[in-house]
């Protein structure tokens, strides 16, 4: 009899644990969804800010694109700019 009661208690604990997992998974999923919405809003705001900066810039589209994509080689040194040596 004690073994049967032990099994019933164990099964009840298992059911409670399953219910807890379901609740916490739902809370996790909701938190992930909320985070994604916030990240999407952040991305949109950043894109809008970049577009406004480009629109008000005196640089050409090609110059801006060139800057963003970066040049293939170290252009800072090629254009005569030198890094300051640390400690000098």
Q: What is the mean pLDDT of residues 10-22?
A: 96
Convert the pLDDT of each residue in 39-76 to its tens digit.
Answer: 999 999 999 999 999 999 999 989 988 988 886 655 55
Q: What is the pLDDT of residue 70?
A: 85
- DSSP per-residue string spanning 4-69: HHHHHHHHHHHHHHHHHHHHHHHHHHHHHHHHHHHHHHHHHHHHHHHHHHHHH-SS-HHHHHHHHH
């Amino acid at each position: 009899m004690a073994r049967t009661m032990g099994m019933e208690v164990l099964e009840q604990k298992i059911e409670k644990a399953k219910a807890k997992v379901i609740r916490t998974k739902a809370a996790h999923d909701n938190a992930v969804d909320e985070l994604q919405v916030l990240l999407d809003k952040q991305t949109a705001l950043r894109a809008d800010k970049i577009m406004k900066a480009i629109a008000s810039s005196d640089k050409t589209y090609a110059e801006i694109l060139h800057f963003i994509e970066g040049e293939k080689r170290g252009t800072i040194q090629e254009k005569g700019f030198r890094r300051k040596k640390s400690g000098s």
